Structure 1
Amino acid sequence: MHWNDFCGGWQLWEPSLLNSTRPDLSPCFEETVLSWLPLVFLWALAPFYLCYMQRHDRGCIRVSCLHRTKMLLTVLSIIVPLVEVCFTVVQIFSSPEGTAPVYLVTPAVITLTMMLVFFIIHTERIRGRHTSGILFCFWLLLAVCFVPEFNSKIILVSEETDQDMFRVVTFFVFYALVLAQLVCSSIADDLPLYSPVRSDRVSTTILFLAFHDDG
């Protein structure tokens, strides 16, 4: 399958769009390369990060307002692309023209990635990680990579072109959720209520003092 078939007639790279009065990127490039790059980043690092947290337990953090906010935003970030997947499936079976596969594949992968984010956030709390460098980088990368598509959607809305407004709205909603997650990821959560490392040090100190008292 060629890129123009996968993207509904668009090439991966359209130089003519960059030479127009309002420079823009190809929708195919935005829906594939720019959308997939942050997802690949997270999926590539997540196994190592999860294994690291499994081996380096820092205790458990109580369920704070910040944690609830992150989880709520993540659930919404799962629902939005999932709704887009369902919408695309309906289009495929109801429209004789069909829909470009990219509009099914990309939101489906985003949905799975948001589920991974949900699991990472939960694991970070029970393993005592009050900050998350990997998720901050993920949200930052996602926000930056979505800037060209955000610009494209603004152009489409301003020109009142015959564009699928459903996907325009879902993109704006999802982008707002990404920015909100970026802000939340830049805020440190509470410290763990109980830390195995800290308790071991305290126990060692108590035994040391008790030994000297006996002496």
Structure 2
Amino acid sequence: MTSEKGVDGGITYLFTDICGDSPFWTPDVLGSPAPKFTACFQNTVLQWLPFIWLCLTLPIYVVVIFRRPPEVRLPLTSFSMAKSVICIVLLILTIAQALSVNQNGSGCDRQTVTSTSYYLGYGLACGSFVVVGIFIQLVRIWGVISSAVIYAYWVLLLVCNIIPLQSTLSYDLYCAKSNVVYHIFYFVMLLVQTILHSFADKRSLRENENEVNIIVDLITCLSITSLR
């Protein structure tokens, strides 16, 4: 009994130490029709999970891929470049949001966030985008058509960002419009990136361009439908 309390106390102390005044979890969060997850939970669990996935899987994947002889280099097409460009866009968005919240505050209360979890979460996100953006081009040069590890990373990141988007739309819609615009655009970029990684690169330029046209048509249809 004492050991369990000690473990719980250690975990509580850990999150209190890095999250500052924000609690890690509130008991009634799941019982609310519009649940509001704490800033600590969003800056730790939701930011750390995709990074942890990369740390656990990417080194093994790199060893397996680069130990075998390289295949024919895949052509540099708009399809493969779009994946790295979106990584750069997400990196810029993350840095801009981190600086904006640090200077102007976050949410309707305009509370300035200075906790360790805040800086750590945004820092891990930026580092992940840099690593993944470079890795996408490295595997293309090595002749690897697709990567299940990177695809799973984007799916996990997309799922983890549903909660921040929901919280922003529920609580910041009318008083923090810039924060709402950021989360919507950020989520759209993640969705587009996930769709791009759902299609494997091809060794033919024509096949790649056909896939790009299909994706563009799909995104256009989704945009028109959402505006109706």
With the length of structure 2 as denominator, give the TM-score of the two structures: 0.72
Q: Which residue of 2 aligns with 1:69?
A: 82
Tell me how far 1:5 sits from its aligned partner: 5.8
Gaps of 5+ in 2: 1-12, 106-110, 206-228
* Greater mean deviation of Cα atoms: 179-188 or 101-110: 101-110
2-side partners of 1:98 and 1:147: how far apart? 23
Matched position secondary structure for 2:29: helix
Q: Deviations over 1:6-62 (max 9, x none)?
A: 435221111122233423432321221022101110122122222222112222101
Q: Which moved more, 1:47-56 or 1:58-67?
A: 47-56
User: What residue in structure 2 maps to residue 172 of structure 1?
Assistant: 184
The RMSD of aligned alpha carbons is 2.5
Amino acid at match of 1:15: P
**Structure 1 counterpart of 2:29, from 17, 24, 42:** 17
- 1:36 alignment partner in structure 2: 48
How far 1:168 moved relative to its partner?
3.7
1:87 aligns with 2:75: no
Which of 102, 114, 118 is residue 100 of structure 1 equivalent to? 114
State which structure, 1 or 2, has the greater radius of gyration over its C-alpha atoms. Answer: 1
Question: CA 1:21–1:84 in structure 2 vs 1: closer, same or farther (change >3 Å)?
Answer: closer
**Which of 25, 34, 47 pairs up with 2:59?**
47
1:98 is displaced (CA, Å) by 5.0
The letter for the 1-side match of 2:41 is F
The Cα of 1:140 is off from its aligned counterpart by 0.7
Aligned to 2:138: 123
Percent identity at matched positions? 23
Change (3 A) 1:153 1:55: same
Residue equivalent to 1:110 = 125
4+ aligned runs moved over 6 Å, structure 1 = none
What TM-score do the two structures reach when normalised by structure 1? Answer: 0.76
Q: Is the 8 A contact 2:25 2:37 kept in 1?
A: yes
Once the two structures are superposed, residues 120-166 of structure 1 have per-residue CA deviations (whole angstroms, 9 ceiling, x without a partner) of: 101111011111111110111111122122211110134x3x55x54
Q: Secondary structure at the match of 1:18?
A: coil
Query: Which deviates more from structure 2 when the two are superposed, residues 9-18 or residues 104-113?
Result: 9-18
Structure 1: give runs of 5+ residues left out of the alignment.
194-215
| 8 A Cα contact 2:73 2:141, kept in partner | yes
1:136 to 151, 154, 163: 151
Distance in 2 of aligned mates of 1:141 and 1:43: 14
Higher RCO by CA contacts (8 Å cutoff, separation 6 or greater):
1
Secondary structure of the residue that 2:144 maps to in structure 1?
A: coil
How much does 1:108 deviate?
1.4
Matched residue, 1:150: 165
Deviation at 1:88, TM superposition (A): 4.8
What is the CA–CA distance in structure 2 between the aligned matches of 1:68 and 1:122, rounded to whole Å?
Answer: 8
Asked if 2 retains the 8 angstrom alpha-carbon contact of 1:61 and 1:126, the reply is: yes
Query: Partners in 2 of 1:145 and 1:89 — Cα distance?
Result: 22
